[in-house]
């Protein structure tokens, strides 16, 4: 009998623990595993370290009080350049800040995926990154003595990513313009969770993807699969759907006051995911 890795968002959240380091795939407000993010926001989890090419995943979890530390190079909603929930958390000192350059970040994930302690780079030299991110260090080249930055491995306790199609064992593909760094997040993590728009039989994956070149996630990189149409909402997930700009604007304006956030949370976070999707469809 074929292994079936399908679970619910609540089961993913239940596999996480307080204080864990959780990597989130996607980029900005693009193909984020938002249904799992919402389940984490609803849970009793706390003190998480979030590692992300940040979008509303970071802002929502900060607003929900789940985050101790943010490891990031940017937090952007794309059409809204800055996430106001993240800004508020930073400006009140509610979260610790670990700044990275977005390319350095790739090296950190790659080092963790390759199980080496660091990768060398010029990125960071001369800037304030080494001063503000004490995890960075320097390393002298054994060949010519050049003093470079050592990007430390960004080891993750868990990773969550949203892929367009998957089979029930965790083979998955992306259908949009860019895989981003989802494969590296999954390879850098101890526990690996994906959500997907649609679970299809394995023998239909290539047809769904259009080409085997898009089958970039294989089942050895995935422990569990959540099937959730609209799982990336309100971020974009092309070709299935674009970003829900009016919803995103409502999310952003919910940062204007504690009351506005309480209303948003009651209506769009503290609800069952199936119910959320029904309400979105009815908007």
Partner 1 sequence: MSAAPTRAEICVVAIAECFRGDGEILANPIGTIPMIGGRLARASFEPDLLMTDGEALLIANDGAFAWPEGRVVESYNPYRAMFDVVWSGRRHVIMGASQIDRFGNQNFAAIGSDYARPKAQLLGFRGAPGNTVNDATSYWVPRHSPRVFVDRVDVVTGVGWDRAMKAGPAATRFFDLRRVVTDLAVLDWETPDRSMRLRSVHPGVTVEQVREATGFELVVPEGVPESRSPTPEELRLIRDVIDPEGRREEEVPG
Residue 122 touching partner 1 (CB under 8 A): yes
Q: Whole-angstrom Cα distance, residue 118 to residue 139?
A: 10
* Token digits of residue 226: 């959540």
Residue 211 touching partner 1 (CB under 8 A): no
Among residues 120 and 227, whose Cβ is nearest to partner 1? Answer: 120
Q: Of 126-134, 157-165, 201-209, 250-258, which segment contacts partner 1 by CB under 8 A?
A: 126-134
Q: Whole-angstrom Cα distance, residue 153 to residue 137?
A: 12
Helix (H, G, I), strand (E, B) or coil at 221: helix
Q: Of 12-20, 42-50, 119-127, 246-254, which segment contacts partner 1 by CB under 8 A?
A: 119-127
Q: Whole-angstrom Cα distance, residue 35 to residue 161?
A: 10
Residue 260 touching partner 1 (CB under 8 A): no
Q: Whole-angstrom Cα distance, residue 264 to residue 246?
A: 14
Q: Of 6-14, 78-86, 245-253, 268-276, which segment contacts partner 1 by CB under 8 A?
A: 78-86
Among residues 90 and 198, whose Cβ is nearest to partner 1? Answer: 90
Residue 74 touching partner 1 (CB under 8 A): yes
Contact 79, 116 (CB under 8 A): no
* Token digits of residue 261: 């956030």
Minimum CB–partner distance for residue 122 and partner 1 (Å): 5
Q: Whole-angstrom Cα distance, residue 116 to residue 139?
A: 14
Among residues 14 and 132, whose Cβ is nearest to partner 1? Answer: 132
Q: Pattern of binders to partner 1 over 164-203, x per CB under 8 A? A: -------------xxxxx----------------------
Residue 147 touching partner 1 (CB under 8 A): yes
| Phi, psi at 251, each rounded to 5° | -60, -45
Among residues 146 and 272, whose Cβ is nearest to partner 1? Answer: 146
Q: Whole-angstrom Cα distance, residue 31 to residue 46?
A: 24
Minimum CB–partner distance for residue 251 and partner 1 (Å): 17
């Amino acid at each position: 009998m074929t292994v079936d890795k399908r679970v619910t968002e609540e089961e993913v959240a239940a596999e996480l623990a307080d204080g864990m380091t959780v990597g989130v795939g996607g980029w900005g407000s693009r193909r984020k595993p938002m249904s799992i993010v919402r389940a984490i926001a609803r849970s009793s989890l706390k003190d998480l370290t979030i590692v992300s090419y940040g979008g509303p995943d970071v802002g929502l979890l900060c607003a929900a009080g789940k985050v101790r530390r943010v490891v990031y190079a940017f937090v952007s909603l794309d059409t809204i350049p800055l996430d106001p929930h993240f800004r508020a958390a930073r400006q009140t000192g509610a979260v610790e800040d670990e700044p990275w350059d977005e390319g350095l970040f790739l090296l950190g994930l790659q080092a963790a995926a390759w199980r080496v302690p660091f990768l060398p780079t010029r990125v960071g030299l001369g800037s304030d990154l080494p001063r503000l991110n004490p995890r960075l260090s320097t390393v002298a080249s054994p060949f010519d003595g050049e003093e470079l930055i050592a990007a430390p491995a960004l080891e993750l306790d868990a990773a969550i990513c949203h892929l367009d199609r998957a089979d029930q064992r965790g083979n998955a593909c992306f259908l949009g313009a860019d895989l981003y760094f989802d494969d590296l997040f999954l390879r850098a993590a101890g526990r690996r969770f994906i959500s997907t728009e649609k679970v299809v039989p394995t023998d239909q994956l290539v047809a769904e993807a259009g080409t085997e070149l898009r089958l970039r996630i294989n089942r050895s990189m995935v422990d569990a699969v959540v099937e959730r149409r609209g799982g990336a909402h309100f971020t974009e997930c092309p070709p299935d759907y674009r970003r829900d700009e009016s919803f995103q604007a409502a999310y952003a304006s919910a940062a204007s006051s504690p009351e506005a956030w309480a209303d948003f949370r009651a209506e769009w976070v503290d609800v069952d995911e199936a119910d959320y999707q029904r309400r979105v469809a009815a908007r």
